[in-house]
Amino acid sequence: MTKVLSSTIGYPRIGVKREWKKALEQFWAGKITKSSLSTEMEHLRLHDLQKQKEMGIDLIPVGDFSFYDHVLDTAVMFGFVPKRFQHKGGEVPIETYFDIARGNKESVASEMTKWFNTNYHYIVPELESSEPTLTENRLLHSFLEAKDKVGIVGKPVILGPITFLKLSKGYDKKDFHKLLQKLIPLYINVFKELENAGAEWIQIDEPILTTSISEEEINLFKETYKSIQKGVPSIKILLQTYFEAVEHYTEIISLPVAGIGLDFVHDQGANLESLKKYGFPEDKFLAAGIINGRNIWRSDLDGKLTQLERILSVVEKDRLIVQPSCSLLHVPVTVTTEKEIDAAVKNALAFADEKLEEAIVLAEGLNNGKKAIEAKIKESARGIEILWQSPGRNQKKVQEELKRWDEVEPKRKTHYSIRQQIQQDVFKLPLLPTTTIGSLPQTKLIRQARLKWRRGEWSNGQYEKFIEENISYWIEHQEGIGLDVLVHGEFERNDMVEYFGEKLDGFAFTKYGWVQSYGSRCVKPPIIYGDISLKGSMTVKEISYAQSLTKKPVKGMLTGPITILNWSFVRDDISRFEVTKQIALALKKEIKFLEENRIHMIQVDEPALREGLPLKVEKQKEYLKEAVHAFKLATSSVQDNTQIHTHMCYSDFEKIMDTIDQLDADVISIEAARSHGELISAFEEKAYEKGIGLGVYDIHSPRVPGVEEIKTNIQRALHVLQPKIFWINPDCGLKTRGIEETTNALKNMVEAARQIRKETPSEALVK
């Protein structure tokens, strides 16, 4: 009997209630042993595999589980350990593995950056002059574990060699081909061992194929996969792509592999159009990514079935695999644990488990006919329709206000050069002013207080008094450290997006809707389900209180419209740009409230601005234009004496310097400590004249940098940036750091700035 198969590309590794995170942090804190950590992680892996087996998934991935990051897993498997960690070769100990990711007392961590256009961060492999070698076949361990303990013949998953190298650093680009030729035999060895152990399918992820790649790079793919096919001719290789339509469709479907995985959700119809125009090889499987793996809305099963039937007009039934569009790493585990969310929203949701059930249902519909899944189709349609008709999605006042701004191009009243002098007259800051990014350590005591308040164990008054006590302590503490511009610390905020979502109409919230951002850092994105509007002031109370305690300026702290959008699960019935503008108009009103309360230094953070950047070069210009419009819509109506700051996180900023300039923020800080040199080189090529702070130390690592180390980073920046525009700050918020390490690091930072001011000739300081 011919049968359409179901598959998973990857499954969330964190556990239903973040058991993965808790185990990792207990190990890092020395509270559990390496053996206990291994046991807990094995329990999570086997539980997830068993769940997928019981659901009825045909092709279940193994090797997608990670102790930290799958790119780091690939790097250490092939022996790419930075020399500063003094690894002597062979299998990489778990301690060294974590040191690469988090740093240690002696060595800084490897750089971390965004995984394509998602909110997941990967550890950037440092190849240096390392000779690749197979340290251990971790895929074989995963495969045998699943086979022996769960009774499944899993589908091993590995990051492909070309994508791996493209995402790496520390080598001369002219050596790319040479490195690739050294890697290919190692991949083949891994695959041979898997084949000998009984593996039938191997999934090789090559998402780089959905970016704007060249003919030369396509030729590399032809050469690479020809070599792999020759090395393991009997194994079924599934070449998996996701996040966009593939470039060079006809060449890709001709590669010597058994199957091709395509994204039919984020391709904007291009993959389906190519499929219909150019056909598909009769000897290959098509893994159709039909279920949205990056958002949390229920699928329109009727529409998806119709789309699959179109695909079946080109692809034979026994050659079709139904699956999510990408790994489910980007969505929470299950809706079943959500007991408190509004029913109209909940019934329209689908997390990882529900998405796999949708894939199974669709495969059943193709195998047994539409009538076999008619009840499921009706249930899905009913859940979607109720949300569509809900009052939250039909706020006429919001929609009318948005229309009034359609033809208006927002901009500041005065040029930056004039604003700069006005603001200096107001704030009277020293050269190289020191500050932090916003959040200060959120201790266990603070988290417990918030929990007591949410549970009703504390009254509003008790909680507000507690928050004020923490603000008061840290205002005094920051003054003692010697910082020039202070922050209130954000102790009242659970998350920089969720906090604002709770104060805006149009948002809903989960209890266990966690996803991994980086390492053990999990975030719980709010759900934008309806039209967005401001209920009342969101931040004035705490920031005004902080400002009342000091004569130094205290920054108002807001999260920007693009970041709120990109770090939320967003409604899919209107364009993302329309949603962004709704957020921007709400923030515009909050900024006005702050100004009316004499807060004239306001930071509107956009750490995720580049995160939503399309993978295709030709689509990026429009996205960046929309991002600039939204930021300026929120910020441009301020007075000249109001200094607008913004902050951005790890990304390839050198490629969007024009966009950063167009934001017209008075001061921008960039998270750059792990890649300081690369970013500084961007300013050698393009002058920047507005205020800027390049993070002078890395807060993602628990190590405290010394004064000389920070001075070196400052001096490197001052080679290309004028001292009069340069700010001294850590590279990100300090929420996750301890009080002692934060205090010591900030003291060193302030001392480094003091010494640089003293050592720098006065004529250089005023140039």
| Domain ranges, ordered by start, for the chain | 51-388, 408-765
Does 51-388 match 408-765 in CATH topology? yes
Question: Is 576 labelled a binding residue?
Answer: no
pLDDT tops 70 at residue 650: no
Check: CB of residue 140 under 8 Å from CB of residue 45. no
pLDDT tops 70 at residue 402: yes
In whole angstroms, give the CA distance from residue 562 to residue 583: 8
Buried b (16+ CB within 10 A) or exposed e, 212-231: ebeeebbebbeebbebbbee
pLDDT digits (tens, 9 = 90+) for 579-598: 999 999 999 999 999 999 99
Please tell me the predicted confidence (pLDDT) of residue 766: 46
For tokens 């001075």, name the residue. Answer: 711
In whole angstroms, give the CA distance from residue 575 to residue 554: 36
pLDDT digits (tens, 9 = 90+) for 490-540: 999 988 899 999 999 999 999 999 999 999 999 999 999 999 999 899 999
Q: Which CATH architecture has domain 51-388?
A: Alpha-Beta Barrel (3.20)
pLDDT digits (tens, 9 = 90+) for 318-360: 999 999 999 999 999 999 999 999 999 999 999 999 999 999 9
pLDDT digits (tens, 9 = 90+) for 157-210: 999 999 999 999 999 989 999 999 999 999 999 999 999 999 999 999 999 999
| Nearest in space to 502 (alpha carbons), one of 564, 440, 432, 431 | 564
DSSP per position, 724-760: GGEEB--SS--TTS-HHHHHHHHHHHHHHHHHHHHHS
pLDDT tops 70 at residue 609: yes
Which residues make beta-bridge pairs with 694? 670
pLDDT tops 60 at residue 726: yes
pLDDT tops 60 at residue 762: no
| Nearest in space to 302 (alpha carbons), one of 243, 375, 404, 411 | 375
Average pLDDT rounded to a whole number, residues 417-446 = 94
Please tell me the predicted confidence (pLDDT) of residue 113: 87
CA 703 to the chain's CA centroid: 23
Average pLDDT rounded to a whole number, residues 444-464 = 94
Please tell me the predicted confidence (pLDDT) of residue 677: 53
Question: Is 114 labelled a binding residue?
Answer: yes
Average pLDDT rounded to a whole number, residues 751-760 = 92
- Residue 486 has a CB neighbour count (10 Å cut-off) of 25
DSSP per position, 653-695: GGGGHHHHHHT--SEEEE--GGGHHHHHHHHHHS---SEEEE-
pLDDT tops 70 at residue 709: yes
pLDDT digits (tens, 9 = 90+) for 687-702: 788 999 888 888 877 8
pLDDT digits (tens, 9 = 90+) for 548-568: 999 999 999 999 999 999 999
Question: Is 618 labelled a binding residue?
Answer: no
Assign 656 a pLDDT band (cuts: 50, 70, 90): confident
CA 160 to the chain's CA centroid: 21
Average pLDDT rounded to a whole number, residues 729-743 = 91
Q: Among all residues, which ones are annotated catalytic?
A: 700
Can you give the length of the chain in residues?
767
pTM of the complete model: 0.90
Check: CB of residue 255 under 8 Å from CB of residue 281. no
700: tokens are 């993602």
Question: Is 521 labelled a binding residue?
Answer: yes
Query: Rounded mean pLDDT of the chain?
Result: 93
CATH class of 408-765: alpha beta
Question: Is 647 labelled a binding residue?
Answer: yes
Helix (H) or strand (E) holding 436: none
Question: Is 490 labelled a binding residue?
Answer: yes
Please tell me the predicted confidence (pLDDT) of residue 767: 44
